[in-house]
């Protein structure tokens, strides 16, 4: 890595963007672009940002991530999730920069029952996954593999933003107070990934100049039910909840949503771990770190 690199970070106000901003390594000049600074649905603006700022890397952490809403807003999801990375990649092909495109486990259909390897073909089930897969394709089309890295991850959550962990903390509190059960889907399997862990993988990708396709998540496996139970138990343990709700497992069929989700979307991370020089930690340990961060923020 050169002495100093300019990295344009999109989605800077989102949960990953804030984790990236909080962990900028020495030798990196981070240019933080939130929605107000750069509209990812505007391909011309994305291209112009690269041509004007001439970053060494674009770390495209911003995305249209509302999985169910994407079913009724496919054009907007496509503009943000595919149009933006295409525009970044095309402009970077002119300036000589590199792209780190953050992607998702939802590019897979979840039918194989074993962890998905980076080189496997994609087969998304819904609009969100399809637009993210198209973003990968367009980015790779515009840039050589050594200057384009697609980093797929899964079930991202953190101490800020909108995510499953923060939602479950609120629901545990409400349901426990009302003495009502909390019903959570138990037949979708993946791995929760904390934003601080994902941010470390992004910075390591840039540090090592890795291209191609990487998979990164925390270690282990869980259902949404398992994750919800752990959030309740550890939330009580860390003083974020007085008591946890009674979590009841339900099937996907009992909780219909506009978008179909993969029933199994674990990512195989061993090869990526070796390339990045990072070892993933277990998702429960990452959850504890996240809950501690939430608790500290509440005490300040």
pLDDT per position as a tens digit, 70-114: 999 999 999 999 999 999 999 999 999 999 999 999 999 999 989
CA distances from 178 to 171, 227, 234, 245 (A): 10, 21, 20, 9
The percentage of the chain sitting over the pLDDT mark of 70, rounded to a whole number, equals 99
Instruction: Answer yes or no: is 105 within a domain.
Output: yes
Instruction: Answer yes or no: is 131 within a domain.
Output: yes
Give the Cα separation of 119 and 210 in Å (integer): 15
Mean pLDDT of all residues belonging to the chain: 96
The number of domains in the chain is: 1
Q: What is the CATH number of the domain that holds 43?
A: 3.40.50.720
pLDDT per position as a tens digit, 185-215: 999 999 999 999 999 999 999 999 999 999 9
Instruction: Answer yes or no: is 239 within a domain.
Output: no
Instruction: Answer yes or no: is 13 within a domain.
Output: yes
Give the Cα separation of 62 and 81 in Å (integer): 8
Instruction: Answer yes or no: is 30 within a domain.
Output: yes
Instruction: Answer yes or no: is 291 within a domain.
Output: no
128 is known as an active-site residue: yes
Instruction: Answer yes or no: is 206 within a domain.
Output: yes
The catalytically annotated residue of 64, 116, 128, 264 is 128
pTM to 2 decimal places: 0.95
Give the Cα separation of 195 and 129 in Å (integer): 20
Domain extent at residue 76: 5-158+194-219+261-281
Instruction: Answer yes or no: is 245 within a domain.
Output: no
Cβ atoms of residues 12 and 58 within 8 Å: no
Note the pLDDT of residue 3: 57
């Amino acid at each position: 890595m050169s002495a100093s690199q300019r990295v344009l970070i999109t989605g800077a106000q989102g949960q990953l963007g804030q984790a990236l901003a909080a962990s900028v390594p020495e030798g990196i000049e981070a240019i933080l672009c939130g929605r107000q600074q750069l509209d990812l649905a505007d391909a011309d603006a994305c291209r112009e940002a690269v041509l004007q700022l001439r970053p060494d890397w674009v770390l495209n952490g911003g995305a249209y991530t509302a999985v169910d809403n994407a079913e009724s807003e496919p054009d907007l999801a496509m503009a943000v999730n595919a149009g933006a990375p295409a525009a970044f990649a095309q402009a970077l092909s002119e300036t000589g920069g590199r792209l780190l495109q953050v992607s998702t486990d939802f590019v897979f259909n979840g039918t194989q029952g074993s962890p998905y390897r980076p080189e496997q073909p994609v087969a998304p089930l819904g609009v969100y996954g399809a637009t993210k897969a198209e973003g990968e394709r367009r980015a790779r089309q515009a840039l050589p593999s050594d200057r384009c890295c697609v980093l797929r991850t899964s079930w991202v959550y953190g101490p800020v933003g909108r995510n499953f962990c923060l939602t479950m903390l609120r629901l545990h509190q409400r349901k426990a107070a009302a003495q009502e059960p909390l019903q959570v889907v138990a037949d979708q399997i993946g791995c929760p990934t904390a934003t601080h862990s994902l941010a470390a993988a992004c910075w390591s990708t840039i540090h090592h100049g890795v291209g191609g396709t990487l998979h990164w998540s925390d270690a282990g496996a869980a259902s949404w039910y398992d994750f919800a139970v752990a959030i309740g138990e550890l939330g009580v343990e860390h003083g974020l909840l007085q008591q946890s709700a009674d979590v009841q497992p339900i099937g996907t069929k009992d909780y219909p949503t506009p978008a179909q989700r993969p029933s199994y979307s674990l990512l195989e991370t061993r090869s990526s771990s070796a390339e990045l020089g990072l070892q993933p930690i277990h998702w429960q340990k990452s959850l504890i770190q996240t809950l501690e961060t939430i608790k500290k923020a509440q005490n300040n």
